[in-house]
Amino acid sequence: MISTKKGFTLIELMLVVIILGILVAMVVPRLVGRGEQARKQAAYADINSNIALALDLYELDNGRYPEKLEDLLKDPGESRAQNWNGPYLKRRPKDPWGRDYNYRVPGQHSNDYDLYSFGGDGVEGGDDDITNWETDELE
């Protein structure tokens, strides 16, 4: 009598596992490291677009850049900002690694101000630093 049981043989299951393993081996290396690259791109956008725009608006209103980033959030008083027209930012910006951006005015590297993040390693001068004075876009 012929058996009518339906199912997969061991060889068929092994072939499926091998094919899935090959696909995973091809795809996973392409995805590794993308998270860190995305964080660097986000920090670059914050420094060279979002926060820079808020700083430039403050400078247009008051004729100079703020002494600290907190001055973009709340009125620092007439002695420091006679034409304050903010808030220029909703909250104190944090870099994608959860640390405050560093801000220095007057700048040591750029004419107006220095705005930078120490990146993933959290160390000044490390390979991960993202700054407003090194304007090469990240790849």
> CATH code for 37-131?
3.30.700.10
The answer for residues whose C-beta is within 8 angstroms of residue 60's C-beta and 6 or more apart is none
Is residue 91 within 8 Å of residue 111, measured between CB atoms? no
* Confidence bin at 1 (pLDDT 50/70/90): low
Domain map (residue ranges) of the chain: 37-131
Give the separation between CA 69 and CA 76, rounded to whole angstroms: 11
Token pair recorded at residue 64: 């100079």
Indicate whether 115 pLDDT > 90. Answer: yes
Q: What is the pLDDT of residues 2-56, one digit of tens each?
A: 666 777 788 888 888 888 888 888 777 776 667 788 888 999 999 988 899 999 9
Q: What is the pLDDT of residues 120-131, one digit of tens each?
A: 887 787 777 889
Q: Detail the DSSP E strand segments found in 18-118.
A: 102-104, 114-117
The three-state secondary structure class of 125 is coil
* Confidence bin at 101 (pLDDT 50/70/90): very high
* Confidence bin at 113 (pLDDT 50/70/90): very high
Give the separation between CA 124 and CA 107, rounded to whole angstroms: 16
Q: What is the pLDDT of residues 65-94, one digit of tens each?
A: 999 999 999 888 877 878 888 899 999 889
Token pair recorded at residue 9: 């043989």
* 46 CB neighbour count, 10 Å cutoff: 19
Residue 84, pLDDT score? 87
